[in-house]
Amino acid sequence: MKKLIFILFLFFTTIISGQESSYKIALLKYNGGGDWYANPTSLTNLIQFANEKIHTNIDKEYATVAVGSSELFNYPFVHITGHGNILFSESEAANLRKYLEGGGFLEISDNYGLDKYIRREMKKVFPDLNFVELPSSHPIFHTPFNFPNGLPKIHEHDGKPAQGFAIFFQGRMVVFYDYECDLGDGWEDPEVHHDSEETRLKALKMGSNILYHIFMK
């Protein structure tokens, strides 16, 4: 935990001082059979966009880290996606909880089929905490890019409205969950899903809002 706090301290002081230093974010690898590797180009594109548009200084190469690894604490932001089953062991859930309580952040992207599994597994992580739907007025939807109606709809899925959920620990958002939205798909290379440029731009802007909320607010 001390190591993570130190990394976060360096991140914020670097932004304030304008020094040139970069920090890695990571893709979370999990067990259970789901395709944690589903969107291989997503984070690369998000990092490039955020570095260019909102002046983050994130390392252009993202890491891959297992949920139970001590290396998790090296990354202030981790992203999880997939279409199927996720399974956290007791020790993995405890590790993820320690990471989040210590200052880390988890972004979950529902890549269609993830919902029932991630909700079940996050209860192992935080048995006493629940996902809370964020209102469209929440700052994460408005800074630096404005989404007046809240989380944008990127992919159709079941045709339901996109919803943004969060888990808060001691008043701090530690998890953001995009449901019926699929930001991760929207961040992929254009030829992967053949999304329009407008759709990709919405996804990248919303992803940048999340990074801004965590790193630069």
On the question of pLDDT at 11 being above 60, the answer is no
- Give the mean pLDDT of the chain: 89
pTM exceeds 0.85, yes or no: yes
The predicted pLDDT at position 192 comes to: 76
The predicted pLDDT at position 21 comes to: 56
On the question of pLDDT at 45 being above 90, the answer is yes
Q: Which of 5-9, 64-68, 136-140, 190-194 has the lowest mean pLDDT?
A: 5-9
pLDDT digits over 23-41, tens only? 899 999 999 988 899 889 9
Give one DSSP letter per residue of the chain, joined into a string: -HHHHHHHHHHHHHHHHT----B--EEEE-BSS--TTS-TTHHHHHHHHHHHHT---B-SS-EEEETT-GGGGG-SEEEE--SS--B--HHHHHHHHHHHHTT-EEEEE--SS-HHHHHHHHHHH-TT---EEPPTTSGGGTSSS--TTSSPP-S-TTSPPPEEEEEEETTEEEEEEEESS-HHHHHS-HHHH---HHHHHHHHHHHHHHHHHHHT-
Q: Which domains can be identified in the chain, with CATH numbers?
A: 2-215 (3.40.50.12140)
The predicted pLDDT at position 157 comes to: 64
On the question of pLDDT at 84 being above 90, the answer is no
The predicted pLDDT at position 146 comes to: 98
Give residue 89's pLDDT band: very low, low, confident or very high (50, 70, 90): very high
- pLDDT (average), residues 75-99: 96
On the question of pLDDT at 5 being above 70, the answer is no
pLDDT digits over 125-183, tens only? 999 999 999 999 999 999 999 999 999 999 776 678 999 999 999 999 999 999 999 89
